[in-house]
């Protein structure tokens, strides 16, 4: 995505603003239309990690393409840091990982990231250094000199991510970055997103992995058939602020009842007792370890 680190046009502008966005696709010979995005209005503040959720076909990728000016809206408008989506300079401050990235397979990973870095206006030493740093961040250094056409699916996602961050954009748009990525890769992406947030960047991310979205997002919107059906901050999710989970050695039934009674005497309730899950992930990550792609 062509870009250079340009300051946002207006400090008070939203990172992303969508107003009454509509997209109809012609899907039949007789002018039959499919409304992929249906009067979508949304505001995402700078510095937020924002999740766009929804079932397959609910309009997430279409919304992103409208925002980036890659598709023309049927109605409504989008802006990036106050700049209308249809203007090419709206994309200067943006890094984009498409849902199904197409990359030149005859380049090596390093050449590919360098190519995008050059398109983004980087030059001289910053070009090679920037490309190397981005590749390192996505843990692809060991595979950087291999041809992109021979990369596995998850490796393509990683190099796509390096291409999206190489010019240090203010806004990063990631359309299902974890699709096809292994658990260590998914954890790396979550870390990267949080690092970018700590640097003050804004991140718009789509994913079907709700638990991971809950970990990284400040706010989410849920789309269904192109319509916004929910918008909220993670911090406001019910039961988040006033509940705690503890992991204990298993209690025999008698002691569990004693614990329940002890809590009840203090006006507190034990809401659930369950065996912790996510053990498979722990075992997997312990055994496989943090491995560089090569
Ligand atoms: N170029 C197109 N022409 C016709 N229909 C399209 C086109 N692009 C998308 N659509 C339709 O628009 C709807 C929304 O698609 P979109 O790709 O935005 O969904 P999504 O929420 O990203 O889904 P997924 O989770 O599967 O990626 C779908 O019904 C899709 O078939
Ligand atoms: Mg999609």
Hunting for tokens 């947030």 — which residue is that? 197
Sheet holding 83-84, edge to edge: 33-44, 16-26, 75-80, 83-84
pLDDT of residue 4: 46
- Identify the nearest ligand to the CA of 55 by its number: 1
Rounded CA gap, 106 and 212, in Å?
34
- Identify the nearest ligand to the CA of 62 by its number: 1
Arithmetic mean of pLDDT, 107-133: 92
Mutate to test the pocket of ligand 1, among 31, 34, 51 (most ligand atoms within 8 A of CB): 34
pLDDT of residue 293: 64
pLDDT greater than 60 at residue 6: no
Is 25 touching ligand 1 by the criterion CB < 6 Å?
A: yes
Mutate to test the pocket of ligand 1, among 33, 36, 98, 226 (most ligand atoms within 8 A of CB): 36
Is 54 touching ligand 1 by the criterion CB < 6 Å?
A: yes
Percent of the chain residues topping a pLDDT of 90: 64
Sign for the CA dihedral angle at 181, 184, 190, 193 comes to: negative
Rounded CA gap, 18 and 119, in Å?
27
pLDDT greater than 50 at residue 59: yes
- Identify the nearest ligand to the CA of 33 by its number: 1
User: Which residue's alpha carbon is at the smallest distance from atom 26 of ligand 1?
Assistant: 56
Q: Do 54 and 6 meet the contact criterion of CB atoms below 8 Å apart?
A: no
Q: How far is the centre of ligand 1, averaged over its atoms, from the C-alpha of 48 (Å)?
A: 25
Q: How far is the centre of ligand 2, averaged over its atoms, from the C-alpha of 75 (Å)?
A: 20
pLDDT of residue 185: 86
Is 57 touching ligand 1 by the criterion CB < 6 Å?
A: yes
Hunting for tokens 């997997």 — which residue is that? 284
Domains of the chain are: 46-65+85-240 (3.40.50.300)
Query: Residue 159, exposed/middle/buried by CB under 10 A (0-12, 13-18, 19+)?
Result: buried
Is 59 touching ligand 1 by the criterion CB < 6 Å?
A: yes
Is 224 touching ligand 1 by the criterion CB < 6 Å?
A: no
Q: What is the pLDDT of residues 224-270, one digit of tens each?
A: 999 999 999 988 877 666 778 888 888 988 999 999 999 999 999 99
Query: Residue 102, exposed/middle/buried by CB under 10 A (0-12, 13-18, 19+)?
Result: exposed
């Amino acid at each position: 995505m062509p870009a250079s680190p340009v300051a946002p046009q207006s400090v008070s502008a939203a990172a992303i603003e969508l107003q009454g966005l509509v997209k109809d696709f012609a899907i039949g010979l007789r002018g039959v239309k499919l409304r992929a995005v249906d009067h979508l209005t949304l505001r995402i503040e700078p510095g937020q990690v924002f999740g766009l959720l929804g079932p397959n076909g609910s309009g997430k990728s279409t919304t992103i393409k409208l925002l980036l000016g890659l598709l023309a809206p049927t109605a409504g408008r989008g802006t990036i840091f106050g700049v209308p989506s249809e203007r090419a300079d709206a994309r200067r401050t943006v890094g984009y990982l498409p849902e199904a990235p197409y990359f030149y397979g005859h380049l090596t990973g390093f050449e590919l990231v360098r190519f995008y870095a050059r398109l983004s206006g980087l030059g001289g030493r910053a070009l090679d250094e920037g490309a190397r740093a981005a590749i390192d961040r996505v843990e692809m250094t060991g595979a950087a000199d291999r041809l992109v056409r021979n990369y596995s699916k998850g490796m393509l996602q990683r190099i796509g991510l390096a291409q999206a961050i190489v010019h240090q954009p203010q806004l990063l748009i990631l359309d299902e970055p974890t699709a096809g990525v292994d658990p260590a890769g998914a954890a790396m992406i979550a870390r990267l997103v949080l690092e970018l947030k700590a640097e003050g960047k804004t991140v718009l991310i789509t994913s079907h992995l709700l638990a991971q979205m809950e970990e990284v997002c400040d706010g989410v919107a849920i789309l269904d058939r192109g319509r916004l059906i929910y918008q909220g901050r993670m911090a406001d999710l019910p039961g988040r602020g006033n509940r705690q989970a503890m992991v204990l050695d298993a209690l025999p039934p008698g002691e569990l009842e004693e614990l329940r009674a002890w809590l009840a005497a203090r006006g507190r309730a034990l809401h659930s007792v369950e065996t912790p899950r996510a053990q498979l992930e722990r075992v997997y990550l312990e055994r496989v370890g943090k491995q560089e792609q090569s």
